[in-house]
Structure 1
Amino acid sequence: MSYAVASALQEAVYERLTFDANVYDLVQGAVYDGVPAGTVPPLFISLGEEKVTDRSDADGYGALHEVVVSVVSSANGFQSAKRVAGAVSDALLGAPLVLGRGYLVGIWFRGAEARRITRSGTRRIDMRFRAQIQDSSL
């Protein structure tokens, strides 16, 4: 197994979500690796947790990355967050991600959870994607 491509995958996901025209129209570039301190926009995307398992084979090192992409909204309902979540899914699944290291074998939507965060009054949708990566650098 190699965790060496994790950074390249994160960069590709971040770049795709930041520069996708449909996503940009909805969140105006509010895509974060970590939620910034202070005041945040009323609707934004945050890259979340990642779980990685070995998928190496006779041809080389590989890994299966399960990543979470979250949409957070301060709106009273879920509609705007769901619109953004749909655009995120379209952006990530619509065309192959180009990695700075290794290559993407495939990426798949695995599920989502939409919930109210009582403490903050926000709405949050956590989407799970699974990406199979081969490390071609070794």
Structure 2
Amino acid sequence: MSYAVSGALQAAVFTALTQDAALSAIVGAGIYDAVPAGNVPDIYVRLGSETVRDASDISGAGAVHYMTVSVITTSPGFAMAKAAATVVSDALQDAKLELSRGRLVSLRFDRATARRIDAASARQIDLRFRARVQDD
């Protein structure tokens, strides 16, 4: 197993999302690896948790990363959150990301969960993606 590609994968996903014009039209610069202290926008995207499993084979070290990207909003209803989540999904599904280490074999949508948070005053959609990487 190799966890060594994790940082490169996260950086590539962050770059892909920050450079997506359609996502920027909805959330502006509100795309975070770590949400800053203080005021945050009414809608933003946050890179979240990750679970990694070994996927090494005779060709070398590899891993499957299950990554969560969340859309969080204080807007009433789910409409804005779903619009942003759709763009996130479109930006990452089968994306051809360049990694600073290793290579991305595939990146696919796995599942999503939409829920109310903060005593129902906010909405959150967690999108989970499955990334297969090889540490060449």
Q: Percent identity?
A: 51
Give SS of 2:93's match: helix
Q: What corresponds to 1:62 in structure 2?
A: 62
How much does 1:49 deviate?
Answer: 0.2
Q: What corresponds to 1:91 in structure 2?
A: 91
Q: Give unmatched runs, 5+ long, in structure 1.
A: none
TM-score, normalised with respect to structure 2: 0.97
Distance 1:118 1:23 in 2: 24
Distance 2:98 2:10 in 1: 11
How much does 1:73 deviate?
Answer: 0.4
How much does 1:21 deviate?
Answer: 0.9
Distance 1:117 1:130 in 2: 25
How much does 1:119 deviate?
Answer: 3.0
Deviations 1:10-58 (A, max 9, x none): 0000000001111111111210001111100000000000000000001
How much does 1:106 deviate?
Answer: 0.4
Distance 1:95 1:113 in 2: 21
Structure 1 residue runs of 4 or more that deviate by more than 4 Å after TM superposition: none
Q: What corresponds to 2:79 in structure 1?
A: 79
How much does 1:93 deviate?
Answer: 1.4
1:1-138 equivalence runs, <5 A: 1-93=1-93, 95-119=95-119, 121-136=121-136
Q: What is the letter of the counterpart of residue 30 of structure 1?
A: G
TM-score, normalised with respect to structure 1: 0.95
Q: CA RMSD in A?
A: 1.0
Distance 1:109 1:79 in 2: 20
Q: What is the letter of the counterpart of residue 5 of structure 1?
A: V
Q: What is the letter of the counterpart of residue 98 of structure 1?
A: E
Counting matched residue pairs gives 136
